[in-house]
Amino acid sequence: MHLAHVTLDPAAVVAPVSRRTFGTFVEHMGRCVYTGLYEPGHPSADEDGFRSDVLALTRELGVTVVRYPGGNFVSGYRWEDGIGPREQRPRRRDLAWRGIETNEVGIDEFARWAAKADIEIMYALNLGTRGVQEALDVHEYLNQPAGTHLADLRRTNGAEKPYGVRMWCLGNELDGPWQLGYTSADAYGQLAAATARALRAAEPGLELIVCGSSSSAMPTFGAWEATVLEHTYDLVDYVSCHAYYEEHDGDLGSFLACAADMDHFIDSVVATADSIGARLRSKKKIQLSFDEWNVWYLSRFQNQPPTDGWQVAPRVIEDEYNVADAVVVGNLLISLLRHSDRVTAACQAQLVNVIAPIRTEPRGPAWRQTTFHPFARTAALARGDVLRTVVDSPSYQTARYGEAAVLDAVATHDPATGDVAIFVVNRDDTRPVQLTIDLTRFGLTVRSAEASTLSDDDIRATNTADQQDRIILRPNRQLTPNTSGAQIVLPPVSWTAVRLSTQPRPVG
């Protein structure tokens, strides 16, 4: 058994928990929208054709913000195709994923869905095949109250009130050769700056997200961010980050440690952004919007999307996640929370069917993938402030990321309730960890404690339509609270959430 310690101090606050850390992503891709969110005729479909089983799971997941409508899809999308009478909407080719987009769902339908799910919309603009004018048009349609052509068109289409979308992505992954409109950092930086100026003229208080690199492995990583921010520093609020991880060639040890790579990625983008800020003598700090992150078995993607014809809602990258994948997802959330001073928005990509925590079958069930559980529990328990979490853990060697800690953790503390939540992974695939959680510096006693763990003897086990709850969170009975914290045993390859409720120490 390994031994590890986590020491917490209520005064060592990183930042308040940003609720926008628990974002998601809905792209018109594969079956995310069609037969995912939306399936008129499904037994659970509501009056708008949305699957209420998926809506219920979305609420349970606890997501707060949703990036829409893409992704690579958005770089060829004409937003106006998706408004007005359905029977008049055009069918179009989607060149990003080689599907047919029917436009049955557009922004008005999606905004209705988001309102039902109580989720804020982060709207991604097409700066691939379009530009400033279309950005202004979609903004007028979504946010202008009334009395102009596009605002009144929205009202005619049934939405009397403006949607009040605050967060706007200035395009998607324009550093990537696969992207429609792929361009240089300089050209994109100029376009993003012009678009940002125009949007700010329309509505000064918007929160604007400029595209960072599509991954830290891009040859232009770093230089791209620097050039783009030189053009846009004073005009935008966020730079985006995207990262997907998978297990390569059976190298489980590296895969389980990939949150260390996310840590490094975030630190690198922060350093790059701050260096531009310093050069500009600016006091402003650019935030990070980690608006695509997840486990994605990209190497299995070779023969997709289908090249043998154009289909509506083809099955694309419907990865089935196992226990190890869920542990990694939980660890990536630990990394995001740890950086809450700079990462103040994040979107797990995607929500339904496409590399998603929720799976559906057409006319059939909806169920939770393994990765659903760490997300939902973290979103539910992370409250108040993120604490600097001092971890003392043994380490191990990984092929990809060098030396990595066996145990990784982050904690939050809600001063209003006295609750402390600790999210923790054991990355060892054979040995448990006995963890001591030290709250001595709180000067409080632990009133009650609970912990739940995701693990299994078979780390390749998954949830399927037939066995939907093969992997769930189970109470961890090896939790022993004491006056100044707790001890807990964490099984190999596991993710755990511990909640400790504290109260003042009795006097005398």
173 phi-psi bin (left φ>0, alpha ψ -120 to 50, beta other): left
Q: Which stretch binds ligand AHR (CB under 6 A): 65-73, 262-270, 377-385, 458-466?
A: 65-73
Query: Nearest-CB residue to ligand AHR?
Result: 71
- Alpha-carbon gap, residue 241 to 408, rounded angstroms: 22
Any contact of residue 181 with ligand AHR (CB under 6 A)?
no
Nearest CA among 45, 39, 61 for reference residue 369: 61
Q: Which of 39, 101, 109, 173 is catalytic?
A: 173
Binding flags for ligand AHR, 233-272, as an x/- string (CB under 6 A): ----------------------------------------
Report how far apart, in Å, the C-alpha atoms of 362 and of each of 27, 33, 54, 180, 465 are: 18, 12, 12, 30, 12
- Show the CA angle centred on residue 32, arms to residues 287 and 372, nearest 5°: 65
- Whose Cβ is closer to ligand AHR: residue 321's or residue 423's? 321
- Alpha-carbon gap, residue 447 to 277, rounded angstroms: 46
Q: How far is the CB of 298 from ligand AHR (least distance, A)?
A: 9
Sign of the Cα pseudo-torsion (378, 383, 386, 389, in order)? negative
Pick the binder of ligand AHR from 7, 21, 72, 348 (CB under 6 A): 72
The phi and psi torsions of 51 (rounded to 5 degrees) equal -70, 120
Does 292 qualify as catalytic in the annotation? yes
Any contact of residue 173 with ligand AHR (CB under 6 A)?
yes
Nearest CA among 162, 224, 228, 147 for reference residue 195: 228
- Whose Cβ is closer to ligand AHR: residue 4's or residue 243's? 243
Q: Under DSSP, is residue 404 helix (H, G, I), strand (E, B) or coil?
A: strand
Q: Which stretch binds ligand AHR (CB under 6 A): 69-77, 107-115, 146-154, 469-477?
A: 69-77
- Whose Cβ is closer to ligand AHR: residue 199's or residue 349's? 349
The phi and psi torsions of 53 (rounded to 5 degrees) equal -65, -40
Beta strands 343-349 and 287-295 are: parallel
Q: Which stretch binds ligand AHR (CB under 6 A): 68-76, 159-167, 337-345, 467-475?
A: 68-76
Binding flags for ligand AHR, 283-302, as an x/- string (CB under 6 A): ---------x----------
Pick the binder of ligand AHR from 7, 8, 14, 27 (CB under 6 A): 27
Q: Which stretch binds ligand AHR (CB under 6 A): 64-72, 108-116, 131-139, 263-271?
A: 64-72
Pick the binder of ligand AHR from 214, 335, 348, 393 (CB under 6 A): 214
Site for ligand AHR in 315-374 (CB under 6 A): 349-350
Does 120 qualify as catalytic in the annotation? no
Query: How many of the other CB atoms lie within 10 Å of CB of 352?
Result: 25
Nearest CA among 287, 278, 195 for reference residue 241: 287
Query: How many of the other CB atoms lie within 10 Å of CB of 417?
Result: 11
350 prior amide bond cis, ω within 30:
yes
Any contact of residue 195 with ligand AHR (CB under 6 A)?
no
Q: Which residues are the active-site residues?
A: 173, 292
The footprint of ligand AHR (CB under 6 A) covers 27, 70-72, 172-173, 214, 292, 349-350
